[in-house]
């Protein structure tokens, strides 16, 4: 399977929702206006496509100079564990550069994954939880 990785400026909402659902990641996919805003407000979208089909996504917020927040890293469950997530992260780092620090909030089920792709567990972060799903 030939996979193409690229930066995209926009994604069609139906295509993105299909991937979110196929990935198993927990997001409010039935709230289409909210999902559309999540995609539109991200300023870095890196995709993985096989034969044109969206199979992976890194949705990020970055200033390209100091910090990059990886809001979502998702891969269709049918093609997980093939290095697609690792390559999406590598593409984000290639596009943004080494001067940025990279952050993400891991799902409990992915805590073992991120150290394998170069992340270090951070003990000095704080959160104000969202008030509604």
CATH superfamily, with its number, for domain 3-116: Gcn5-related N-acetyltransferase (GNAT) (3.40.630.30)
32-79: per-residue pLDDT in tens? 999 999 999 999 999 999 999 999 999 999 999 999 999 999 999 999
Show me where the domains of the chain are located.
3-116
133 — pLDDT class (breaks 50, 70, 90): low
State the DSSP string of 30-90.
Answer: T-HHHHHHHHHH-SEEEEEEETTEEEEEEEEEE-SSSEEEEEEEEE-GGG-SSSHHHHHHH
The pTM of the whole model exceeds 0.85:
yes
93-131: per-residue pLDDT in tens? 999 999 999 999 988 888 999 999 999 999 888 888 888
């Amino acid at each position: 399977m030939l996979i193409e990785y690229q930066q995209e400026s926009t994604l069609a909402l139906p295509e993105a929702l299909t991937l979110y659902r196929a990935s198993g990641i927990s997001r409010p996919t039935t709230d289409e206006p909210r999902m559309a805003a999540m995609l539109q407000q991200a300023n870095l979208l890196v995709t993985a496509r096989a034969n044109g089909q969206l199979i992976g996504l890194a949705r990020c917020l970055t200033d390209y100079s100091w910090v990059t927040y990886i809001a979502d890293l998702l891969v269709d469950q049918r093609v997980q564990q093939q290095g697609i997530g690792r390559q999406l992260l590598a593409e984000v780092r290639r596009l943004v550069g080494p001067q940025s620090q990279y952050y993400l909030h891991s799902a409990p089920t992915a805590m073992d994954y991120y150290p394998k792709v170069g992340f270090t567990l951070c003990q000095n972060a704080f959160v104000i939880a969202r008030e509604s799903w």
